[in-house]
């Protein structure tokens, strides 16, 4: 639900909420605002100058659209977690590429794209470093990543990884969730776009009891973008195009999740 005052959109897009509508109507009465609610467009229009009803905006106003595009995720805080880092290189590809480099590169591209839509991004790391402290143990690393998301009161937590298997034939993209309704919905949206965009085998959105999914207080997913142990997918994960496509599709999934 968007709110427009005197022809200008307020940033953010709240869920349609009866109590909020009643409150706005009561405020309008006391302050002598004109107000109307366009249910079809989920839009509250307010005229603060006098109590006449504000006109409906014209749909094809491109200027408003542009403004909208830049503010689609305004007010949303998203925590991005590039897997591994620093002393923990993660999985290794056949030619020696490291998971920790791929996850960071994809997360930084994703950060840029989400910020373009107005989101506030919290990174668990934005350099090649451990998150807790240098040479931290794995459980301390997980704890530090969860804490970053919970302390920021993020709306979403997205952990980015590369899959790996003993057989180089294993291939495809997988998105994990912890089974709660919103995380499942997010995982499905991201997973579908990811395997389509990367043309990887769709291994599905799946349940997993990963520490970072269990302990984060918000909808959270862990994306295994592709298999670094597979020579073809190793190339995809370490290429500029492959990384950008991965980031683009995860960004799309997030926009769909918020229905903006
Ligand atoms: Zn990993």
Instruction: Tell how far the Cα of 256 is from the centroid of ligand 1, in angstroms.
Output: 25
Contact 98, 92 (CB under 8 A): yes
Query: Within 10 Å of residue 247's Cβ, how many Cβ atoms?
Result: 24
Same domain, 141 and 19: no
Same domain, 19 and 105: no
For the chain, state the CA radius of gyration. 21
Q: What is the pLDDT of residue 9?
A: 85
Same domain, 123 and 210: yes
Same domain, 205 and 104: yes
Instruction: Tell how far the Cα of 32 is from the centroid of ligand 1, in angstroms.
Output: 57
Instruction: Give CA–CA dist 125/220, Å, rounded.
Output: 17
Same domain, 24 and 138: no
189 three-class SS: helix
Using the 3D structure, point to which of 70, 97, 118 is the last residue of a domain: 70
The range of the structural domain enclosing residue 62 comes to 2-70
Same domain, 37 and 154: no
Kindly report, residue by residue over 24-38, the tens digit of the pLDDT.
Answer: 999 999 999 999 998
Using the 3D structure, point to which of 13, 42, 70 is the last residue of a domain: 70
Q: What is the pLDDT of residue 12?
A: 75
Instruction: Tell how far the Cα of 107 is from the centroid of ligand 1, in angstroms.
Output: 13
- Segments of the chain with pLDDT less than 70: 59-69, 260
Instruction: Give CA–CA dist 111/117, Å, rounded.
Output: 10
Q: CB-hemisphere CA count at 13 Å for 73?
A: 25
Same domain, 105 and 181: yes
Instruction: Tell how far the Cα of 237 is from the centroid of ligand 1, in angstroms.
Output: 13
CATH code of the domain containing 29: 3.90.1070
Same domain, 202 and 236: yes
Q: Which residues contact 36 (CB under 8 A, 6 or more apart)?
A: 44, 45, 53, 54, 56
Same domain, 109 and 203: yes
Q: Report the number of distinct structural domains present in the chain.
A: 2
CATH code of the domain containing 102: 3.40.630.40
Q: What is the pLDDT of residue 60?
A: 54
Distances (CA, A) of 131 to 2, 13, 55, 85, 98: 37, 32, 52, 8, 17
Kindly report, residue by residue over 157-212, the tens digit of the pLDDT.
Answer: 999 999 999 999 999 999 999 999 999 999 999 999 999 999 999 999 999 999 99
Instruction: Tell how far the Cα of 83 is from the centroid of ligand 1, in angstroms.
Output: 5
Contact 136, 84 (CB under 8 A): no
Contact 70, 206 (CB under 8 A): no
Same domain, 65 and 81: no
Instruction: Tell how far the Cα of 127 is from the centroid of ligand 1, in angstroms.
Output: 16
Same domain, 52 and 85: no
Same domain, 252 and 128: yes
Using the 3D structure, point to which of 37, 70, 103 is the last residue of a domain: 70
């Amino acid at each position: 639900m968007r709110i427009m005052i005197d022809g200008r959109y307020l940033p953010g897009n709240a869920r349609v909420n009866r109590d909020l509508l009643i409150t706005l109507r009561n405020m309008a009465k006391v302050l002598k605002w004109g107000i109307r609610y366009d249910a079809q467009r989920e839009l509250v229009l307010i005229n603060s100058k006098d109590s006449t009803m504000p006109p409906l905006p014209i749909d094809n106003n491109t200027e408003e659209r542009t403004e909208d595009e830049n503010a689609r995720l305004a007010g949303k805080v998203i925590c991005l977690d590039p897997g591994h880092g620093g002393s923990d290189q993660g999985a290794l590809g056949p030619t020696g590429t490291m998971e920790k480099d791929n996850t960071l590169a994809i997360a930084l591209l994703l950060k840029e794209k989400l910020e373009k839509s107005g989101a506030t991004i919290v990174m668990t790391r934005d350099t090649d470093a451990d998150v807790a402290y240098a040479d931290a143990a794995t459980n301390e690393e997980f704890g530090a990543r969860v804490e970053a998301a919970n302390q920021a009161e993020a709306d979403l937590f997205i952990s980015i990884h590369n899959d790996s298997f003993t057989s180089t034939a294993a291939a495809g993209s997988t998105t994990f969730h912890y089974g709660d309704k919103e995380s499942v919905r997010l995982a499905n949206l991201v997973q579908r776009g990811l395997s389509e965009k990367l043309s990887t085998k769709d291994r599905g959105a799946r349940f997993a009891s990963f520490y970072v999914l269990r302990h984060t207080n918000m909808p959270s997913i862990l994306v295994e973008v592709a298999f670094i142990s597979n020579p073809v997918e190793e190339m995809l994960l370490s290429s500029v195009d492959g990384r950008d496509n991965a980031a683009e599709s995860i960004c799309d999934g997030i926009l769909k999740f918020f229905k903006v």
